[in-house]
Amino acid sequence: MSRANLDKDPDEVAAMFDGVAKRYDLVNDLLSLGRTKAWRKSATAIIEPKPGMEILDLAAGTGSSSEPLAKAGANVIPADFSEGMLAAGRKARPYLPFTKADALSLPFEDGHFDVVTISFGLRNTVDIDKALREMFRVAKPGGRLVVVEFSTPVWRPFRSVYRNYLMRALPAIARITSSNPQAYIYLAQSIAAWPDQASLAERIEKAGWTQIGWTNLTGGVVAVHKAVKAP
C-alpha cells in the first residue's frame, strides 16, 4: 500500500500486517522509543478489567493488549483480521482465544460485551464510522468503548518535531529493523492523516456513543478515547 487514504483495500491492509507479524511487537517498541508498554498499561488502567467482565479486543495483533485483561480475570476475545497476526498471537499466547474478525462485520451477537476496545487499529479500517457502529452494536447497554490511537500532540513546538519524526526518522528506522519497511511508511502516513482528538470524538458520537471523552498520553502522541452505550 503506497499511501494512506480512506479507501483502504482490506486485502492489502491484511497482507501488510501478515508481512510484519513476526517482529511487530519488537519493531513497535523501537519505533515508539520504548513507550508502547506504557501506553498499553495506561489503556488497561482505563479499561479497568475485572473477573467475569466480557471484553472484545479488536485489532489485537499478537495479543499484547489482551494479555493484561485476561490476567485480571476478564473474559477477553483477542480479534484481528490478519491471519499472520493471529498465527503469531496463537504461538506467543496459546492460552488466549484468538478469533478472526472484520471490524466492519463482527461475528458476535448484539449487546454482548461490557467493553469493546481497539488499540492502534481503527485508522486501518476501510470505514471508520461503520466500525464504530459495529462496536456499538455488540456492546451491552451501559457498555463502554475504549479506543487507543495515535493522535495530535497538544504542544505546538513538539507537534512539528513529531511530524518530522513520523515522515523522516520512522521510515528510516523501519528500513533497518523491519522486513517490510513499506508497511511502516504507510503507517507513518496513516498517523499523519488521522483526525485530531476532538474530530474523532465527534465521529464516535455520531456512531451512537455517549459520554465521550479522551485522555492524552505522551502529550497527545496517543489519545485514549472513552465512550458509553446508553442503557
pLDDT digits (tens, 9 = 90+) for 42-86: 999 999 999 999 999 999 989 999 999 999 999 999 999 989 889
Scored b (16 or more CB within 10 A) or e, 92-126 reads: ebeebebbebbbbebebeeebbbbbbbbbbbbbbe
Which pLDDT belongs to residue 173? Answer: 66
Calpha distance 101→182 (Å, rounded) = 25
What number is the average pLDDT over the span 133-150? Answer: 97
Confidence of residue 160 (pLDDT cuts 50, 70, 90): confident
What percentage of the chain carries pLDDT values higher than 70? 77
Q: Is the pLDDT of residue 20 over 90?
A: no
SS3 77: strand
Which pLDDT belongs to residue 7? Answer: 47
Tell me which fold the domain 24-153+195-228 belongs to. Answer: Rossmann fold (3.40.50)
pTM to 2 decimals?
0.84
Q: Which residues face 31 on adjacent strands? A: none
Calpha distance 194→190 (Å, rounded) = 6
Extents of the domains making up the chain: 24-153+195-228
What number is the average pLDDT over the span 119-133? Answer: 93
Calpha distance 226→212 (Å, rounded) = 6
Write the CB contacts of 101 (distance below 8 Å, at least 6 apart in sequence).
58, 79, 80, 81, 107, 108
